[in-house]
Amino acid sequence: MPDLSRLSDAERQALLLLAEGHTAKSAANALGTTEGAVNERLREARRKTGVGSSRELARRVAQENRDEKIGVAGATRIRNMAVMPQAVRLGWPVLLGVLAMIVLASLIGGFTALALSGQAAPQGPPRVVETYPSAGAVAPSGPLTLKVTFDRPMRASWSFVNRDAASTPPCDGKPVQSADRRSFSMTCRLAPGRAYWIGFNSANHRNFASTDGVPAMPSGLSFSTK
């Protein structure tokens, strides 16, 4: 088995994006870096682990992430069963009955929550679901309220990142979080005939995070002005 513990955070991020179907080019856009930098991370990851295929290594890293989540939940269940009082451990028929009631209660609670929310809770890291301007849009020059919306409530912290001074939109740097905690807005003043890029999180800056502390997947927004 390859030793995945040797992988750096940057290499893991590139591999996880690859596992989700990204190419090196689209992963570079999401991470706010270059395609060459992503390919270098993949080469280094293959060298460290001895896995010859980036896609295969990406699959293994994604599986490890899933296994870790399952393992944590499983360990909790085992510890809870270990401290059950002797009166409960009366034999398999009673134990199976108790477990069946617990499972049924969990299912009822899950369906109730789903009915109340109207949709399943998002899985994995937070993701950007909407921006203003939208990606590739041609916006009017002058004052503009830039906005990014995530798929779930977020902490009151942010990491707006840039690639270089020339492509960075001039904003006031005072983001305002929406009442539902999913969106962040800030005022910018755009010059005419310019191409702009702004990122949301990066490999080193990860302050956009869900309320339970999970950093958002790095992504970027490109747009221009008339």
User: What is the pLDDT of the chain when averaged over all its residues?
Assistant: 81
For residues 223 and 150, give the distance between their C-alpha atoms in angstroms, rounded to a whole number: 19
211: helix, coil or strand? coil
Q: Are residues 28 and 93 both part of a single domain?
A: no
Q: What is the CATH number of the domain that holds 221?
A: 2.60.40.1220
Q: Are residues 52 and 79 both part of a single domain?
A: yes
Task: Give the tokens for residue 106.
Answer: 């969990």
Answer yes or no: is pLDDT of 99 > 90: no
Answer yes or no: is pLDDT of 28 > 80: yes
Neighbours of 191 (CB within 10 A): 11
Angle at 206 between CA 201 and CA 209, to 5 degrees: 100
Q: Are residues 97 and 75 both part of a single domain?
A: no
Q: Are residues 155 and 103 both part of a single domain?
A: no
Higher pLDDT, 83 or 91: 91
The boundaries of the domain holding residue 34 are: 1-83
Whether 154 contacts 208, CB under 8 Å: yes
pLDDT, tens digit, 9 for 90 and up, residues 143-174? 999 999 999 999 999 999 988 888 999 999 88
Q: What is the CATH number of the domain that holds 22?
A: 1.10.10.10
